[in-house]
Amino acid sequence: MNLHNEIMNLLLGNTYKDMEKQEQMAYKCGHRDARHQAAELSIYAEHLEILLKDVYDYATQNHGLDLKLARKVEKILELK
């Protein structure tokens, strides 16, 4: 399962059950909205990772001319 799907499948939890009805609705809506935003960000992160790998491949296949760039991309990919 990819990160997007994991985020979308996050459970609400039991915290909201002790709240009043209006608070429950606000909590549920906030949870839903946060999941959707986080899932969208995960898609952007996946695309960025693919792009960075392409940049790394280009930099390393260019006979060391872009070795400095390749090292920077390596550091970014290590953060994952």
């990160």: which residue's tokens? 3
The dihedrals phi and psi of 10, each to the nearest 5 degrees, come to -60, 135
Residue 46: pLDDT above 80?
yes
The pLDDT-based confidence of 59 (bands split at 50, 70, 90) is confident
- Average pLDDT value for the chain: 83
- Predicted confidence at residue 38, as pLDDT, reads 92
Q: Where are the domains of the chain?
A: 45-80
- Predicted confidence at residue 64, as pLDDT, reads 61
Q: Which two tokens stand for residue 13?
A: 């939890």
